[in-house]
Structure 1
Amino acid sequence: MAENHKVQVVLLDDRKLTFNVQPKMYTCDLFDIVSSHFNLKEKEYFGLYYLDESSNQQWLQTDRKVLDHDLSKKTDPILLYFAVRFYIENMYYLQDSVSVELYYMQARQSVYKGVIECDSSTVFELAAYALQIAQGSLIRDGQVREALKKVPVFPASTFSDHPSIQYCEDQVLKRYYAINGITRGQAMVSYMSVVEKLPTYGIHYYEVKNKQGISSWLGLSFKGIAQFDYSDKRVARKVFPWKYLENLYFRDKKFSIEVHDPKRVSVSRRTFGPSNVNVYAWFTNKPQLTKCIWSMAVCQHQFFLDRLQNKSTLMIKRCPNVIADELSLPRTQSLQTLNHMNSHVSLQESALNTLNMSKTGSSKSTTESYCWYFISSCIDKLVHIRQPYSLLTILSTHYTLYSLYSLLTILSTHYTLYSLYSLLTILSTHYTLYSLYSLLTILSTHSTLYSLYSLLTTLSAGHAAFITAAELLTIIIMLQGKKTTTLRREMFISWFSVHLVDSVVDFSQ
């Protein structure tokens, strides 16, 4: 009988999650559990890997069982690592702030370990941003220096150029005070903007040799396959874009690619002339590394094709200021951005009032009445939503409605979209928005929605932001007053107590 194995997954902040993995457990299931730890939605950019005997990253295949991989079962526990597997052109294309933060953590770790190469000046600049992200705005030199020691920001190459630790700290402090006062989100966006311009960012490097035994680096990225001199990872000697790749294959220690050459004219085979496909080959020290390179190249190529196929929906660039604002919000209090929706009562004050009412022994009916009164006041003010992006983004994450572009396309085909109130009324009458089809059906059967322009005009008058589509729909469903069932009222009270007050209030007492 197969035995369970203890597995530890190392996260990007070096925390570890421990699991008792059964022999029948698939990688996709384990990955989903790890992703749920930080509510990750854009899972397609990330993955799990382990280190083989040569310290090469071997990525787990999602359609295989965890323990079917060539893991070293001699170690207890088995170590796996969560990391960014697929990089993209720009972080602004990431639709979720959690993904942006994970990209930042991966970048900071790569800079610290020397995987991303950069000069000392850039290291000091990035260290200042990382310190601002981790500690916020500090004033005293002593505090800043102590905080800097807790943040891993200096790669070994920096101390080779500048042996004095105090000099390095002084350089970081000078840059830190220059940016002192910016928000955590602004610092993170600035950090990523600097890192993304570095030539070694987003590339997976593998050591290979040619037929003569001369070593070089093979780099795999979202752009394609590139060959680098062994002494220089920054400037590629050759670049093979994914769109020109015809075939990828390996055998033993040999990895080969077939590349379409658009400059060469294909000649019929009958003439025995040259074709427009060139073959390039490299060699490794071990077959395991060759297979690792091939597997990564195949996955990267498929990732490129998937993005190319879904370009219209995936290539939506978000505003840097919006990303920075989202990253600056405490995750557990992000619903507090609903404040000032009611011009006289902020959400936090109302929540605290509700909390105080419950603590002072108010009856259940009184507390519930206050909750309903407050939310009713809020819904009356929903016409003051400042950013259509907030509501549309929430709806776009709901089940199979995958992008903002998709939602805009759907809404733009309906000429009867009149107001936000109409949209909320429609949504409040449906309890199961499980698919894009159901939303399309709803929108197509109501004649009170006037135009996309009307909706955007209405939304542009105020501001609101919610955490998830489920919570938005919960609010809408609960806003049916006396028609709401007791069960749904209790669900709403539970939601309200968890998300709108600092402490969970038991309204049933």
Structure 2
Amino acid sequence: MADRNGSILFSPHRPKAIIRLLDSSTFEVTLHSRLSVEDVLGLIAEKFEISNLDSRFFALSINDEVGNFHWLDSSLILKDLAAASANPHGNLILSHHVRFFVEGISEVQSASTAKFYFLEVQNQFIRHELICNFDDYHELAAILVALFAPDCQEETIREAISRVLINSHPSYILLKSDGEEVEKRIYERFLNCRRMPQGTAIMRFLKIAERSESYGYRMYELLNDDGDKCLVSIGSNGVYVYKRSRNMNVITPFMAFQWRYIDNLYYRENKFSIEIRPPKRDSKNEDNRIDDDTLVNDRQLFEAFSHPTTQVITTIRRNHQQQFRPLIYNFTCSSSLLCRTVWSSAIAQHQFFLDQKALKRVRPLLRLSHFVISTSTTHNGRYDNESS
């Protein structure tokens, strides 16, 4: 598959898998009978010197016409996927993305991983899917201008912003101030970061982005029980649901389901369902309870999400003397394929959440073991969420 110099070899008679990378380059490999998604991910990791521990953050996907990410299982044989496609003898077009996001960029091991994280979050920011407060928005935009248009002047800031942010500013930002005011704020922050080294600017960008409740989340447009469009956002902390306004392209947080309150996730044909276990409360705190089906929503949730101490709870039942009955929220997908994608994405993100939680428990033990060794040397001596 590869020569001694690391170049991928191709057969002129065989179809290829063309993988689009986040840096706009492509990675091509000839399809053969045993080539799996895992094999290709390994080749990309080797090329970009991504460590074994970091390689678990990445995945291959097929992106549909509206930008949905349909993730491919690591064991999938690509030749089988090509044979089942509309053009079985043509090239297979795939995308390489960060699928799983750690809480802080300092947890990754490879510089290449940090770079791919940055490119992924930059795309999320440009697509208006990184929801942040106004100050953070201005700062993030200013850093991108500093990275990609460092010679920008005050009179050219609008042109620079349009090059960096191809979709202009999100509607929720323009609700509070006009375009000129936003440009002014961005330029003021640009002056403070224009001399920042590239690596420092990238790390600063990611640190700010991590404060967003939608950091590293994938959004899928579905219909709720009322038949209204909503965005179901899936990530490592749970499932968030956003409302989309009818008159303006503004999304506002509506419901938040953290993994520890999700009992079950299931789908059938075009229906995706979330089964919620209302959290138990001490009877002494009965006065602090809220009624059935009361939701944390709208602007209060938008502000609360960003605060590091906030614990968002969606619904709580009043009667603590009886066993809590699950609450079920149903969503309709545009196709059975999208429904399975949403379901499998939620399952995978929950598993990543559990893996990260287990890893955090192990790390202190590893540090303690290292301390003991050092000291000894010095002195010679259906899906059910039960585990979250």
Length-normalised TM-score, structure 1: 0.55
CA–CA separation in structure 1 for the residues paired with 2:135 and 2:360: 36
What is residue 282 of structure 1 aligned with on the other side? 331
**1:293 aligns to 2:310 (yes or no):** no
- Is the Cα–Cα contact under 8 Å of residues 128 and 170 in structure 2 kept in the other structure? no
Distance 1:120 1:261 in 2: 33
Q: Distance in 2 between matches of 1:215 and 1:153?
A: 26
- Aligned with 2:208 (options 179, 187, 194): 194
Aligned residue for 2:169, secondary structure, equals helix
Find the counterpart in structure 2 of residue 126 from structure 1.
140
Supply the AA of the counterpart residue of 1:116.
Answer: L
**Is 1:409–2:369 an aligned residue pair?**
yes
Residue 205, structure 1, aligned to residue 219, structure 2: yes
Give the equivalent residue in structure 1 for 2:8.
none
Contact 2:41-2:58 at 8 Å conserved across structures: no
**Amino acid of the residue matched to residue 201 of structure 2?**
A
Give yes or no for the alignment of 1:302 onto 2:351.
yes
Distance 2:90 2:195 in 1: 45
Q: How does 1:56-205 map to 2 (within 5 A)?
A: 56-69=68-81, 71-73=85-87, 76-117=90-131, 122-133=136-147, 141=153, 148=160, 152-157=164-169, 172-205=186-219
Deviation at 1:32?
0.7
Show structure 1 runs of 5+ residues with no match. Answer: 266-272, 317-404, 419-448, 452-509
Whole-angstrom CA distance in 1 between matches of 2:324 and 2:55: 40
Tell me how far apart the structure 2 counterparts of residues 150 and 213 of structure 1 sit (CA, whole Å).
35
Partner of 2:278: 261
> SS state of the match for residue 327, structure 2?
strand
Q: How far apart, in 1, do the equivalents of 2:168 and 2:50 lie?
A: 32
Q: CA 1:226–1:149 in 2, change beyond 3 Å: closer, same or farther? A: closer
Q: CA deviation at 1:210?
A: 2.8
Match of 1:6 in 2: 16
Which residue of the partner structure matches residue 38 of structure 2?
28
Classify 1:210/1:234 alpha carbon distance in 2 versus 1 (closer, same or farther; 3 Å): closer
Residue 119 of structure 1 deviates from its aligned partner by 7.1
Report the CA distance between 1:62 and its aligned residue.
Answer: 0.5
Q: Distance in 1 between matches of 2:178 and 2:158?
A: 19
Q: 2:49 touches 2:110 (CA, 8 Å); kept in 1?
A: no
Q: Is the 8 A contact 2:162 2:168 kept in 1?
A: no
Higher helix share: 1
Q: Which runs of 5+ in 2 are unaligned?
A: 1-12, 283-321, 382-388
**Amino acid corresponding to residue 277 of structure 1 in structure 2:** P
Deviation at 1:173, TM superposition (A): 4.4
Checking the alignment, whether the CA contact within 8 Å between 1:123 and 1:153 is kept in structure 2 is no
Query: Offset of 1:10 from its aligned partner?
Result: 1.1
Secondary structure of the structure 1 residue equivalent to 2:100: coil
Which has the higher relative contact order, 1 or 2, with Cα contacts under 8 A spaced 6 or more apart? Answer: 2
SS, match of residue 417 in structure 1: helix
Bigger Rg, which one? 1
Matched, 1:214 2:231: no
- 1:392-450 residue CA offsets vs partner (Å, 9 max, x unmatched): xxxxxxxxxxxxx63662352454424xxxxxxxxxxxxxxxxxxxxxxxxxxxxxx75
> Could you tell me whether the CA contact under 8 Å between 2:138 and 2:185 is conserved in 1?
yes
State the Cα deviation string for residues 370-413 of structure 1 (Å, max 9, x = none).
xxxxxxxxxxxxxxxxxxxxxxxxxxxxxxxxxxx636623524
Identity over aligned pairs, percent: 21
CA distance in 1, matches of 2:45, 2:162: 26
